[in-house]
Amino acid sequence: MKFALFTGCVAKGATRELMLATIKSAEALGIDFIEMKSAACCGAGVISEKNPVLTDAINARTFALAEEQGLDIITICSTCQGNLKKSECHLDEDVEYKDKINHVLKDGGHQYEGGKIKIKHFSNILATPEGKALLKEKIKRPLTGLKTAGFYGCYVLRPSELSEYEDPDNPKELEELFEILGATPVYYPSRIKCCGFPIIMMNKDASHAMAGNALIEAVEGGADCVVTGCPLCHLSLDSYQPEIESMQKKHYSIPILHLPQLVALALGFSPEEIGMDKHIVSTVGLDKILAQHA
C-alpha cells in the first residue's frame, strides 16, 4: 500500500509525536507514505470563515499534487480529513467553479481533474479488511487488559455524507481496531462529540467543559486511556487537562493517545520511541497495565 501523506500543520508542530508514531507504525506495517511536502494547510475550517473560495483553491492544489503523484491522500488529522473532503465536494459538484480555480492553479503548474484520487483518514485504511489483516499479521505485543476509549473528532463524522465511516452517528471503526490490537473498547456518548478545541480561545470555559465531559464519561466507563485520530482533540484533552481538572474540581489524569501511537505500541515500539513521553498527562500507567497482562 502506498499513499500521499498529508501531514497537516499540527503533526509538524505541537504534536510531532503523532508524526513520529505515524511514520513508525506505517514502516512496521509495510505501508509506504510519501509526505506531501509542498501541500498547504487545509484551512482547518478557519480560512473559509474569511474566504471560502480560497480554501477550496489551496485544497484543489493539494489534490492536484496527489493526482500528479498518482496516489490517494492519507490524513492523520480529523480536521484535515473533514476540510479536504468538503473542498473536494465543492469542486466536484460544480464544473464551472472547478474551472475558475484551475485557471488560477495553472500559473503554478497544477490542474485538479477530479475523480482520480481518494481522501482517507489513516484509521479508514486500517479499518479496511486489508488493513485489519495487516494489523493482525504484524502485532507483536497485543494490548491485552488495556481499556481504550475512542474519540473520533467531529470533522471525520459530520457532515455524514462526506464521512468515510460506515455509520457516522454510531461509528465502530476505532473500536474494531482496538479489539484487533488486543485492547478492550469503552463506549461512551461523548466519543462522537466535540472536544471544544475550536473555541478554546473564544470561550475557554465552554471548551474545557466539553472536553471535561468526554473525559469524565471515559473515566466512568472504566477507560485507561482515550485514543483520538485528531491532534487538535489531543491538544484539548491532553495539554489542557490540568485546566479542565481544576475547572471541574476533579482529578482523573487519563492519558490521551494518538491512534498511530496505540497501533505502534501493539507493533512493539516502546512508549519513548513514539513520543509518549512528550504528553502532558503521563502515560506511564499504561505500561504497567500492559505489563500486568503480558
Q: In angstroms, rounded to a whole number, what is the distance separating the alpha carbons of residues 255 and 286?
A: 8
209 binds another protein (CB under 8 A): yes
Part of the chain binding another protein (CB under 8 A), chosen from 19-27, 91-99, 138-146, 191-199 = 191-199
Per-residue binding string, another protein, 171-190, x by CB under 8 A, is ------------------x-
Half-sphere exposure of 35 (CA within 13 A, CB side): 11
CA distances from residue 182 to 79, 146, 186 in whole angstroms, order as listed: 27, 8, 13
For the chain, where are the E strands, in sequence order?
2-6, 32-35, 73-75, 119-121, 147-151, 184-186, 225-228, 256-258
210 binds another protein (CB under 8 A): yes
203 binds another protein (CB under 8 A): yes
Per-residue binding string, another protein, 112-151, x by CB under 8 A, is ----------------------------------------
155 binds another protein (CB under 8 A): yes
252 binds another protein (CB under 8 A): no
Q: In angstroms, rounded to a whole number, what is the distance separating the alpha carbons of residues 285 and 240?
A: 19
202 binds another protein (CB under 8 A): yes
Which residue in the set 38, 128, 253, 270 belongs to the binding site for another protein (CB under 8 A)? 38
Q: In angstroms, rounded to a whole number, what is the distance separating the alpha carbons of residues 96 and 93?
A: 9
96 binds another protein (CB under 8 A): no
46 binds another protein (CB under 8 A): yes
Part of the chain binding another protein (CB under 8 A), chosen from 26-34, 89-97, 173-181, 192-200 = 192-200
Helix ranges (H only) for 30-170 are 47-50, 52-69, 78-92, 95-105, 122-126, 129-138
Closer to another protein at the Cβ: 179 or 243? Answer: 243
191 binds another protein (CB under 8 A): no
Burial degree of 95 (CB within 10 A; 0-12, 13-18, 19+): exposed
Residues in binding contact with another protein, number by CB under 8 A: 67
Burial degree of 176 (CB within 10 A; 0-12, 13-18, 19+): middle
In contact, 119 and 88? CB cutoff 8 Å: yes
Q: Which residues lie near another protein (CB under 8 A)?
A: 9-10, 12-15, 17, 37-41, 43-54, 57-58, 61, 82, 104-105, 107-110, 154-155, 157-160, 167, 169-170, 189, 193-194, 196, 198-199, 201-207, 209-210, 213, 239-240, 242-243, 277-280
